[in-house]
Amino acid sequence: NKTGIIFDLDGVIVDTAKYHFLAWKHLADDLGFEFTEAHNELLKGVSRVRSLEILLDIGKMKLSEEKKQEILISKNEDYLSYITKMGPEEILPGVTELLDTLDGLGIQYVLGSASKNATLILKKVNLFDRFTGIVDGNSVSKAKPDPEVFLLGAKMLNLKPEKCIVFEDAIAGVEAANAANMISLGIGDKQTLHKADFNFKDLTEISPDFIKTLIKKQK
């Protein structure tokens, strides 16, 4: 009768959401249209390829397949220029404490991210070895809000979906967790993430008692 946790990466464990935003914004600048933080919410949690489609819709642009491939490569190169400089100081507040709490309670956790750079990032911030498993953009074929990434996470934890709790900062991610029949914890703006079962500003707001109560409820 165990519970398991699935963490999104970007915007939950590390603040890479700001680097994704910068890289997409540079691209929009080059293509000659405006790209705001509000637009960026639509890209959070979404795969790289799907993000480009949404971005081009925002700019009302159509590009050839060849040009799109070129752009995806340069977006990732731009993004990686930020990532390669990352270190453990970029772990978001409350993350390390929460992982310590989960370890103490014997609760296993895996990563459920759309990013193809997830392993690299976790290694950069020295968190890679703490996770029981990694589901990332290389292991899924359907992007969030499809539940595939989280269902694979549940498999990795050897648990039924309804025994899993998901931490997410993206609208698409909360929708994916709900579609997977898991408990969704929205991390960030409450209005934006109103579809989540519970809302928190960041992980410092999550107490060991809250985790214990959730687990009891799930039994």
The binding site for ligand G6P (CB under 6 A) comprises 10, 20, 43-48, 51, 76, 113-117, 137, 170
**Marked catalytic residue, from 10, 15, 30, 129:** 10
Question: Closer to ligand G6P at the Cβ: 101 or 136?
Answer: 136
Radius of gyration of the chain (CA): 17
Q: How far is the CB of 97 from ligand G6P (least distance, A)?
A: 23
Q: Is 114 annotated as a binding residue?
A: yes
Whether the bond between 147 and the residue before it is cis, its omega within 30 degrees of 0, is: no
| Catalytic site includes residue 103 | no
Q: Answer with the entry of Mg ion, ligand G6P, none that 153 interacts with (C-beta below 5 to 8 A by kind).
A: none
Active site residue 57: no
CB of 170 to ligand G6P, least distance (A): 6
Phi-psi region of 6 (alpha: psi -120 to 50; beta: other; left: phi over 0): beta
In this structure, what DSSP letter does residue 163 have? G
Q: Which CA distances in Å does 33 have to 42, 49, 54?
A: 16, 19, 13
Q: Which is nearer to ligand G6P, 18 or 155 (CB)?
A: 18
Query: Is 144 labeled as ligand-binding?
Result: yes
User: Does the annotation flag 44 for ligand binding?
Assistant: yes
E strand or H helix at 150, and its extent?
helix 148-157
Residue 96 contact partner, candidates ligand G6P, Mg ion, none, CB within 5 to 8 A by sort of partner: none
CA distance 141 to 26: 27
Instruction: Indicate which of ligand G6P, Mg ion, none lies near residue 3 (CB less than 5 to 8 Å, by partner kind).
Output: none
Interface residues with Mg ion (CB under 5 A) are: 8, 10-11, 45, 169-170
Query: Which residue bears the tokens 């909360």?
Result: 174
Q: Is 104 helix (H, G, I), strand (E, B) or coil?
A: helix
Closest CA to 96 of 130, 133, 119, 132: 130
User: Residue 23 or residue 99: which is nearer to ligand G6P going by CB?
Assistant: 23
Is 113 annotated as ligand-binding?
Answer: yes
The answer to whether the annotation marks 1 as part of a ligand binding site is: no
Residues 6 or more apart whose Cβ sits within 8 Å of residue 120: 83
Annotated binding site: 8-10, 24, 43-48, 51, 75, 113-117, 144, 168-169
Which active-site residues does the annotation give?
8, 10
